[in-house]
Structure 1
């Protein structure tokens, strides 16, 4: 990092926690120091700034600001794809540097929140799918015989109510006798109970 950029950073209140001579060292330093933001040149030995930024985002996500003498659309696209939050032409003015750092940190915060929300949504969808997998529902009109109470299926076959419902839902049956039927079927028993 040049003395001029170091001076501009310190002048605006930033604390420099480390400096790297190459892209590999920048990635390693980011892992160990865990800075609030990484400011690096695009031209570095071993890994260039874009490659280093991509590796930083993969292993230790951190806001990254890139400094470069180049300003091509291809470079800007590559920088954005690598997760670079802001892009500055050299030499930057102190105010531009401060704005770029603020933008990179805000963009990074938004991306982290989006990742968190996406993960929460993914988990919720998984829970809902599991719940749907457990639910079988009966829908529409059920053609039922008025006399024997059998239900006709879509193929025209008639089934006992219990069989049809068991096959088309997760319901099971237990049998009992309602008071009206108890009076008819067992008049002696019913009259004795009350």
Structure 2
């Protein structure tokens, strides 16, 4: 990818990615000046725009929520707030793709990073292609996570509608009206229509047919059995 190439940004609605001429906006959270400068040099070959630089975890958190970058490069060991906890808080307050920078690799660290919502990791000093690849991976994983979260919320909402009619429903023993959760009494058909996806069509049971239409009851029942 050259400096004039198109950049890829995630979109949670389309299930894929959109191609845009706009550069990917990122924040570098690294307290080591030399490492920070090396990362900035490596990014010059790609279509990235550095919108902020943080020297500690608290700055990274505030900067991310304020500037809303497309991705954050986060050092795992920083003063005030370490990279893992900062990543966890970012995903809670302002979900953003995150790449963790670490001097060493361990299964325990990777597990913690994954649990904090980190999408990819890099060992120092990272090469330019590695940085670019990690950013692409982190953005893709974040997009997938947002889609899953959106589907979960949709499913949760659907289930809540289904469960609306669950439990004990107060019904009048005489007129058969139903009392809703606000204390108002409604006809059964109105209550069910407002609290579910069910629709009503007019019909008549055999008992009411015989009671109100005795003259044609036998004929109608015979027709219904055909």
Name 2:123's counterpart in structure 1: 89
In the TM superposition, residue 4 of structure 1 has moved relative to its aligned partner by 1.3
Q: Which structure's CA Rg is the greater one?
A: 1
In the TM superposition, residue 10 of structure 1 has moved relative to its aligned partner by 2.5
- Cα gap change, 1:94/1:131 in structure 2, threshold over 3 Å: closer, same or farther? same
Say if 2:155 is the partner of 1:121. Answer: yes
SS of alignment partner, residue 179 of structure 1? coil
SS of alignment partner, residue 92 of structure 1? coil
Moved more, 83-92 or 171-180: 171-180
Name 2:108's counterpart in structure 1: 74
Name 1:101's counterpart in structure 2: 135
Moved more, 105-114 or 124-133: 124-133
Name 1:35's counterpart in structure 2: 69
Say if 2:209 is the partner of 1:176. Answer: no
In the TM superposition, residue 16 of structure 1 has moved relative to its aligned partner by 0.2
1:10-59 Cα shifts (integer Å, max 9, x gaps): 32111000000100000000011000000011111001110110010111
Unaligned runs of 5+ in 2: 1-29, 31-35, 177-187, 190-204, 219-226
Name 2:222's counterpart in structure 1: none
**Comparing both structures, which one devotes a greater share of its residues to strand?**
2
Length-normalised TM-score, structure 2: 0.61
Name 2:59's counterpart in structure 1: 25
Length-normalised TM-score, structure 1: 0.70
| Residues in 2 aligned to 1:77 and 1:181: alpha-carbon distance in whole angstroms | 72
- Cα gap change, 1:133/1:177 in structure 2, threshold over 3 Å: closer, same or farther? farther
Quote the RMSD (CA, aligned, Å): 2.7
In the TM superposition, residue 61 of structure 1 has moved relative to its aligned partner by 0.5
Give the number of equivalent residue pairs.
Answer: 150
**Comparing both structures, which one devotes a greater share of its residues to helix?**
1
- Cα gap change, 1:181/1:89 in structure 2, threshold over 3 Å: closer, same or farther? closer
In the TM superposition, residue 130 of structure 1 has moved relative to its aligned partner by 2.4
In the TM superposition, residue 126 of structure 1 has moved relative to its aligned partner by 1.4
In the TM superposition, residue 134 of structure 1 has moved relative to its aligned partner by 9.6
| Residues in 1 aligned to 2:69 and 2:101: alpha-carbon distance in whole angstroms | 17
Structure number with greater CO (CA < 8 Å, separation at least 6) is 2
In the TM superposition, residue 179 of structure 1 has moved relative to its aligned partner by 2.0
SS of alignment partner, residue 112 of structure 1? helix
Say if 2:86 is the partner of 1:55. Answer: no
